[in-house]
Chains A and B, each alone.
Chain A
Amino acid sequence: GQSLEQPSEVTAVEGAIVQINCTYQTSGFYGLSWYQQHDGGAPTFLSYNALDGLEETGRFSSFLSRSDSYGYLLLQELQMKDSASYFCAVQSGGSYIPTFGRGTSLIVHP
């Protein structure tokens, strides 16, 4: 089976940098995705990593280390609107349907 671990909650102040970690256990790994979900809203896709390294998209970056079965989402210049839940999701094992982690609630303080 597949399992993903991510912290349940992270807090930070506006303007800071925060890193949300995700470790996974799976076989036949394809890639790791990140989704953002504001309270009561729909999850929206942020990024996808299939190869080792850092992918940057504006203030958000996502990193993957396949050998360590580990990835993280890096959010820079935090804004209040970044307060949301962030889910990592792994594609693996012959299925391209992602398996989602339980999510990390990011709280940004002024």
Chain B
Amino acid sequence: GENVEQHPSTLSVQEGDSAVIKCTYSDSASNYFPWYKQELGKRPQLIIDIRSNVGEKKDQRIAVTLNKTAKHFSLHITETQPEDSAVYFCAAEEYGNKLVFGAGTILRVKS
């Protein structure tokens, strides 16, 4: 089955700097890669996703890149703000609608 690895496990950046979180996956058949943000005590919420027919997708300060050959994808947050502090999860679709999640990255933005 699909295996998703996520790095780093924790990331601390200064407000205004960029943050990058990286994930690798094992199943070359996976075609959908979402990112979720989870604030303390709340539910995971979808913030951006990418399908395998594109290499990059951007939404304001957030972007995701995908390299299908290398089987890795990354989340990029520019001009970080304190409200970006949260746990971020990457995921890959295994089959049907089933998502396999990475272990999560705790992002702390210092002001």
Our verdict on whether A and B bind, yes or no, reads no
